[in-house]
Chains A and B, each alone.
Chain A
């Protein structure tokens, strides 16, 4: 009977085109508004590394103490979101985690070997070799540099596919040299497409932006006195002048991540951190309560408010708008169904039971919902184009509308319309055939 009811639904929709279009428009506008905001929200709130998000931990330690706590905003625990160089090196040298990496954002002027290309600026990330395995970075050519390269401060780099396409025309560039700030670095790996959204490993710097184009050993960057291109906070105490002064200061500018696959690893690492902080107390560096914290990737995103509260409110408002649209659609459906009470009475007289009438009307609601969903998709596409025009490139990168989003839009439209159609459908199923036939 489904195909029969489906055919009847199409005929019914053609019967009163204006009413049908109004219903579809009501649903389409509601779906368009809610899906536009939901698409952005899903991109912002998504798990950037679902298979490992519970094993990757951001590390925090209080190296400032209560005297500087007013400088740190939005953190009741007064823990800094980044760490200092002394702590980064302390953690690295302890080898307390199976995999770990200190990292910071930096950058270069790249001079292509192709004379037809002008020099240009590239963003870079100084990290340890574990970075690539921890964050499951895929490689198109070659691979990460080795631990020996970290130890030897080697002049090696990993570059993104995009940069490889630009500088090396997409060819396998492993072994070729890349000139960065007038110094040659050997390419050891070319990454494949990799873009965690948000860029959870460094939320201080362009959290919805592209990943860096060049990766080099942390040790090499420090040896090369490559300053940070990211957030740097000294809370008013910049320490001694010069690069060495920076390295020995309590300025925070380094992100630190550890991969802790098991609960035992996590417990051990917490213990290590507490011991480390206690050691710092004993050495006189910290004269306050030892305070450390690790959070896995999802906890880290929540802690750092990766999704702005405004976006959550916008989603709430847009879904409230969808609700209002559905109420309108319900009213229109009720009018349409009650206008057909005579036909429903005839069908009941000819042997349709209540369930048959209910199914017929519900399938009609589903068809309206599907059409509303299609319109909603078109309006969502328009909405996302509007966002791209109005907002920054950073936000526009979130406006990807994939197959999953299309499915969600259609399912949401059909489900919501069927839900809105339940009452009109129930009324239809309870049309008294005798009254309708007497009235005629």
Chain B
């Protein structure tokens, strides 16, 4: 599903070049639930943004669902992102002046679905996260947990092949976080491929396996079913 080989990403200024990812390799299979952990500044979020085609990389290879993404133009990357990837962000990133159903509608509009199809998908995804009754509410009228569930509904509405979650419970209290994690596990059980970035070991343990990043490199894997491999290992 997601395969990066010897990938590197450097941020350059006039005087300094800083590597966020260096010789970074990872392989996430279809249907896996992988937690990507590591300390702050280790490159977790950079990995996620590159995986989500939000950022270019400097070297190496990246294949998403069998397609080599290197050299794709903005249109192709946007279309691939829209069709294959669903994002769940730590701060939810709902658009404040759109209500719940209009927020979920955003990726469906860019996909070009007709009105009936969009309405069906919005309804289904809201039912999936248990927020059908809140479709007309605005983000500010919802709790943090509800907002994150709306974000998950938005990510699910386009039937993506891959869910990328960046600290999905980072802004939630324990009870709400548990609810969101339960939902992610449920999605995984239903066959979704999930890559979750977190710095919280307790969350990571809920994933099928864990990939640890330090200084832009994969350094460790946990025991079976969490495999442990060295840096640059193909997973």
Which residues of A come within 8 Å of B, CB atoms?
Answer: 1, 4, 11-12, 14-15, 342-343, 345-356, 432-434, 437-438, 440
Contact = CB atoms under 8 A, between A and B. Distances in A.
Interface stretch (B47-55, B60-68, B188-196, B218-226): B47-55
B5 interface: no
Contact of A4 (B52, B81, B109, B111): B109
A75 to B, nearest CB: 63
Contacts of B109: 1, 4
B167 to A, nearest CB: 11
A345 B110 CA distance: 14
Contact of B106 (A342, A345, A347, A434): A347
B49 A353 contact: no
Interface in B86-106: 87, 89-91, 93-98, 106
Contacts of A343: 95-96
B87 A434 contact: no
A438 to B, nearest CB: 6
Given A1-B109, A4-B109, A437-B89, A11 B74 contact: no
A438 B45 CA distance: 7
Contacts of B95: 343, 346-347
B81 A351 contact: yes
Contacts of B54: 348-349, 433-434, 437
Interface in B69-123: 74-75, 78-79, 81-83, 87, 89-91, 93-98, 106-107, 109-111
Nearest to B107: A350
B122 to A, nearest CB: 14
A73 B55 CA distance: 73
Interface residues of B, number: 30
Nearest to B77: A353
A375 B43 CA distance: 52
A301 B50 CA distance: 68
B22 interface: no
B120 to A, nearest CB: 18
A434 B97 CA distance: 22
A351 B49 contact: no
B97 A12 contact: yes
Nearest to A344: B95
B154 interface: yes
Nearest to B81: A351
Contacts of B83: 351
A410 to B, nearest CB: 27
B12 to A, nearest CB: 15
A350 B106 contact: yes
A344 to B, nearest CB: 10
A440 B97 contact: no
Given A11-B98, A437-B89, A440-B89, A353 B74 contact: yes
Contacts of A355: 75
Given A11-B97, A15-B97, A352-B78, A434 B49 contact: yes
Given A351-B107, A433-B54, A346 B81 contact: no
Contacts of B97: 11-12, 14-15
A11 B103 CA distance: 13
A440 B91 contact: yes
Nearest to B95: A343
A197 to B, nearest CB: 50
Given A15-B97, A434-B54, A440-B93, A351 B45 contact: no
B88 to A, nearest CB: 11
A325 B106 CA distance: 34
Contacts of A353: 74-75, 78-79, 110
Given A343-B96, A350-B82, 18 more contacts: A11-B97, A11-B98, A345-B93, A346-B93, A346-B95, A347-B106, A348-B78, A351-B111, A351-B158, A353-B74, A353-B75, A355-B75, A356-B110, A432-B55, A433-B49, A437-B49, A438-B45, A440-B89
A223 B178 CA distance: 110
Task: Identify which of A11, A348, A432 gathers the most chain B CB atoms within 10 Å of its CB.
Answer: A348
Task: Identify which of B52, B74, B98, B109 gathers the most chain A CB atoms within 10 Å of its CB.
Answer: B109
B74 A354 contact: yes
Contacts of B111: 351
Contacts of B79: 351, 353
A351 B93 contact: no
25 contacts: A11-B98, A14-B97, A342-B93, A343-B96, A346-B93, A347-B110, A348-B54, A348-B78, A349-B87, A349-B93, A350-B87, A350-B106, A351-B107, A351-B110, A351-B158, A353-B75, A353-B79, A354-B74, A355-B75, A356-B110, A433-B49, A433-B54, A437-B49, A437-B54, A438-B45
A399 B92 CA distance: 56
Task: Identify which of A14, A432, A434 gathers the most chain B CB atoms within 10 Å of its CB.
Answer: A434
Nearest to A15: B97
Contacts of A350: 81-82, 87, 106-107, 110, 154
Contacts of B158: 351
Interface string B127-161: 00000000000000000000000000010001000
B141 to A, nearest CB: 16
Given A342-B93, A437-B89, A438-B45, A349 B52 contact: yes
Contacts of A437: 49, 54, 89, 93, 166
B100 to A, nearest CB: 15
B85 to A, nearest CB: 9
Given A343-B95, A353-B75, A438 B49 contact: yes
Contacts of B75: 353, 355
Contact of B81 (A11, A14, A349, A354): A349
